């Protein structure tokens, strides 16, 4: 039986991954760890919750021992725009945090999942059908920590024979927990405005094409990769995965099909626009498809319909 620790458990991915892991492996076998003193009730009621600093090896080690952890999903990180605001903190959390977790995992023989990102690419990367193996010279602090993270995970895999796996996530769209300070956040915020019948001011300009994915696909990808036969995995850290690729105007049109009165204008944030302009338009995820059977289920239309339906139902979450 797996005994799992999830760092960053109260974040956008963690808040949806933890319940799925608990259903699958048993509530007592999945420890949610976050930095919030007071997490959502669902964490307190649904299974073990611990407050943790991902740069403090001793406290992570103590948790791993306390719960006999054998698998860590290390999700704690600052997103791209937040990282540009505070590069020192981003380095500390994203880089030192990962290295600390890798060391704890090494000492306690844990398997590790590490999420990389489209942010691991940069302006000199081919933006269309971005290959699995290509130029990675990102010019954001977030991207630098993601490339270094990929390389560090590969290093620990090779040098210490550890089982470490990762994906390069595109922008993730979800209705449960808002992302905190990413460049692709517009594709989430837009739905919150639409459902409240409010106009939306998009911070990326018309025509800015980026890879995206609906959260249920992202969660399934993580679990399928972690359950894949290790002998099939050649690329490991980290696999390109994508589900859809669209521009703000295309998403706007897709929402308008459901909500014809919805309106959107543009107020471009130059910092996030520059970040977005340095990222791929559409990644080639054929390595993930070939090595562990990756296959997305949601396209933009299906995702749009479900986001609107879920946000309407979950009215209390719409802030």
171 binds ligand SER (CB under 6 A): yes
Cβ atoms of residues 14 and 8 within 8 Å? yes
Half-sphere exposure of 56 (CA within 13 A, CB side): 11
Comparing CB distances to ligand SER, the nearer of 47 and 122 is 122
**156 included as an active-site residue:** no
169 binds ligand SER (CB under 6 A): yes
CA distance 61 to 47: 20
Among 31-39, 62-70, 111-119, 195-203, the segment contacting ligand SER (CB under 6 A): 111-119
CA distance 86 to 141: 9
119 binds ligand SER (CB under 6 A): yes
Among 67-75, 95-103, 182-190, 302-310, the segment contacting ligand SER (CB under 6 A): 182-190
Q: Which of residues 120-159 bind ligand SER (CB under 6 A)?
A: 142
Comparing CB distances to ligand SER, the nearer of 156 and 279 is 279
CA distance 102 to 150: 12
Size of the site for ligand SER (CB under 6 A): 11
Instruction: Give the residue at shortest CB distance from ligand SER.
Output: 182
Per the structure block, which two tokens stand in for 240?
A: 């390109």
* Among the listed residues 183, 208, 240, 278, the single contact to ligand SER using CB under 6 A: 183
Comparing CB distances to ligand SER, the nearer of 67 and 298 is 298
Cβ atoms of residues 242 and 202 within 8 Å? no
77 binds ligand SER (CB under 6 A): no
CA distance 144 to 137: 8
Comparing CB distances to ligand SER, the nearer of 100 and 184 is 184
Among 117-125, 225-233, 243-251, 286-294, the segment contacting ligand SER (CB under 6 A): 117-125
Among 65-73, 92-100, 181-189, 309-317, the segment contacting ligand SER (CB under 6 A): 181-189
Give Cα separations from 90 to 129, 140, 143, 278 (angstroms): 29, 11, 11, 19
CA distance 302 to 119: 25
Structural Rg of the chain based on CA atoms: 19
Catalytic hit among 67, 142, 156, 239 = 142
Give Cα separations from 108 to 61, 62, 96 (angstroms): 8, 11, 18
CA distance 227 to 230: 8
Comparing CB distances to ligand SER, the nearer of 63 and 244 is 244
Cβ atoms of residues 286 and 232 within 8 Å? no
304 binds ligand SER (CB under 6 A): no
- Where in the sequence numbering do the catalytic residues fall? 142
For ligand SER, the binding residues (CB under 6 A) are: 79-80, 117-119, 142, 169, 171, 182-184
């Amino acid at each position: 039986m797996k005994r799992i620790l999830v760092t960053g458990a109260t974040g956008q991915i963690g808040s949806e991954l933890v319940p799925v892991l608990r259903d699958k492996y048993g509530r007592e076998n999945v420890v949610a760890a976050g930095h919030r003193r007071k997490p959502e009730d669902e964490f307190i009621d649904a299974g073990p919750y611990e407050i943790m600093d991902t740069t403090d090896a001793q406290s992570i080690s103590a948790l791993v021992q306390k719960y006999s952890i054998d698998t860590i999903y290390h999700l704690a990180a600052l997103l791209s725009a937040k990282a540009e605001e505070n590069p020192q903190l981003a380095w500390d959390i994203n880089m030192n945090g990962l290295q600390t977790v890798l060391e704890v995992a090494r000492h306690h023989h844990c398997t590790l999942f590490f999420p990389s990102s489209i942010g691991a690419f940069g302006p000199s990367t081919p933006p269309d059908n971005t290959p699995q193996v290509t130029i990675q010279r990102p010019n954001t602090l977030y991207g630098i920590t993601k490339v270094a993270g990929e390389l560090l995970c590969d290093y620990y895999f090779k040098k210490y024979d550890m089982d470490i796996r990762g994906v390069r996530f595109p922008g993730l769209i979800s209705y449960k927990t808002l992302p905190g300070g990413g460049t692709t956040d517009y594709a989430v915020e837009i739905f919150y405005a639409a459902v409240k019948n409010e106009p939306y001011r998009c911070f990326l300009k018309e025509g800015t094409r980026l890879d995206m994915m609906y959260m249920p696909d992202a969660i399934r990808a993580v679990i399928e990769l972690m359950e894949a036969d290790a002998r099939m995995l050649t690329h490991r850290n980290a696999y390109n995965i994508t589900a859809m690729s669209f521009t703000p105007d295309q998403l706007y049109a897709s929402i308008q099909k459901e909500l014809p009165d919805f309106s959107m204008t543009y107020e471009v944030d130059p910092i996030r626009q520059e970040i977005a302009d340095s990222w791929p338009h559409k990644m080639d995820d054929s390595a993930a498809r070939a090595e562990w059977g990756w296959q997305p289920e949601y396209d933009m239309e299906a995702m749009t319909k479900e986001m609107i339906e879920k946000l309407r139902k979950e009215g209390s979450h719409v802030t």
